[in-house]
Structure formats: C-alpha cells, structure tokens
Structure 1
Amino acid sequence: MISQKAKYALRALVSLARTGRGETMMIGEISKEQAIPKKFLEQILLELKRAGFVASRRGRSGGYELLKDPEQIMFGEVLRLIDGPIAPLPCLSKIAYKKCADCRDEASCEIRHVFERVTLATREVLDRTTLADSLRLEDLPV
C-alpha cells in the first residue's frame, strides 16, 4: 500500500502535468484542486523540488511548474522517492535488501516466491506508467 504522502505527491504532479509546459500553478490552487492540506503539500513540493521534478517561481506569475516532461516522469520513480523501495518484504527490495529475520532459506521460502511475482508485476506497471499516461486513462498500460 502506498502512503498518503505518495498519493498526494502523485496528485500534485498530475495537476502540474495538466497545466502545460512552462505554466505554473500556485500551491493554493493545487491544494484546492486535489484536496491536499496546504501545509503538507508545501513539504511534499519541497521534496519534489529537491529531487528535480518541479521548480518554484516567485512573483505575480509565480507558483510551481514541472521541470520534466510528463512523459518522462514514471509513477515508480515518484513512489520510490516518497515511500522508498517498492517491495512488500524486505528480502525483495533492490535498494534496501534485508534478510527476513524469521526466514531460514530464501531460495525455498514459499511466501517469498509468491510476493516476488507480485513485486515484479507491480514494478513493471509502475516503472512504465508515466504522468502523461495517467492523463489518458484509456491508454494506461496493463
């Protein structure tokens, strides 16, 4: 399950993707459109800014804008930034591997084998689904 923070991050990015290249959105607009608490959204946008997904501009035409094309922002990339590894078991994580304390042998662990298939399928969908795809619901990869 993804965190509320990750859902908010994705929803904020989707709002920005809808605005068009070079266009900005004020934090209040994003907050209202996506029903995200403004203070929480500020923290999320700062994290997305540090990671190079968005930029902020001051002034009359200020606000937030996407730095990358929506076709280049993968759901998996955003989820890993916000929530960390996409793995239901620590022994399945690529970037934060940890042996399960109660597991005697990973190679023969029946639970691990099932969740490995789930993890691979989940990663495949998330790593090939872009923000742009989410704006075209009928074209989402399955």
Structure 2
Amino acid sequence: MRLTARSEYALLALLHLARQEADQYVTVDSIGSAQGIPPKFLEQILLTLKRARYLRSLKGQHGGYRLAKKPRDISVAEIIRLFDGALAPTESVSRYFYESTPIEKEKSLIRVFKQVRDYVSDKLENTTLADLR
C-alpha cells in the first residue's frame, strides 16, 4: 500500500471538516488554505467524496462542504480504498482488489504479506475520523 496525494489530501480535508460544527459548511478555499491543498485539486477530491456520499455540499454565499456522516462512521481504510484501492502490499493477497501476481508461487511470502495486510487493514479499519480529530 502506498498513499497517493489524493488520498492524503482527502484525509486532511475530512479531518478539517470533522473538527467543525456538524452543520457548518466550509468553503473549498478555507479547507485548502488551512491544509495547504491546491484549490483546483481539492475541488476534484471533494467532488469524489461527495459522489461517494461522505460529504454534502451547499451552493451560494454561505455554501461549501460538510460531512454527510458522523466522524465515527468514516474509517481511514475506506477513504484510502476510495482513492488508492487495495490496502494490501500486493494484489495477490488483497481482499477487495485481488489480481494474480508472480509472488503467488511462494506460499511463505504470501503468508507474510497476508499478515502485513491483516495488521494494516485492522488498524485502518478501526481508526475513524473521530479518533483522529
């Protein structure tokens, strides 16, 4: 698993929103300047999060974005999967994004990579925005 800038920025934006009042809409510019995220890139990320039903948006002078779910209901794992795919170190041990890879012929390596996958997955599945804010 390797995080892209998209998933890192998505997590930063979500954490920023999780720290706001539940019904408060926050502008793209406000999130971007607070987290150091380029506004155009942030708009794309927020749109993806909105389409995946993690965010709500409101247009107009008092518009912006806010969480559509409670922070305790959004895990770090699901956001990483949304933007980057598998949490597993190789696709051949991925639960959700399996693909055959050359490493499969070595069962001892597969065992180790499954242990790594299970540890990382467990940690990220059980860490929510509420835990991090």
TM-score normalised by the chain length of structure 1: 0.89
* 1:139 equivalent in structure 2: none
Which residue number in structure 1 is paired with residue 114 of structure 2?
116
Per-residue deviation, residues 42-81 of structure 1 (Å, max 9, x unmatched) = 1000000000000110112100010000011000011111
Structure 1 residues 97 and 58: CA distance shift in structure 2, 3 A: same
Aligned pair 1:82/2:83, yes or no?
Answer: yes
Per the TM alignment, residue 101 of structure 1 is displaced from its structure 2 partner at its CA by 2.9
CA contact (8 A) 2:104 2:110 kept: no
Match of 2:100 in 1: 99
1:1-142 counterparts in 2 under 5 A? 1-101=2-102, 103-104=104-105, 109-135=107-133
Larger RCO, structure (CA 8 Å, separation 6 or more): 2
| C-alpha distance in 2 between matches for 1:131 and 1:37 | 22
Unaligned runs of 5+ in 2: none
Name the CA distance, whole Å, in 2 between partners of 1:131 and 1:9.
Answer: 12
State the TM-score, normalized to the length of structure 2. 0.94
Counterparts of 1:102 and 1:94, CA distance in 2? 16
Taking the aligned partners of 2:104 and 2:67, their CA distance within structure 1 comes to 44
Q: Where does the alignment leave 5 or more consecutive residues of structure 1 unmatched? A: 136-142
Residue identity (%): 39
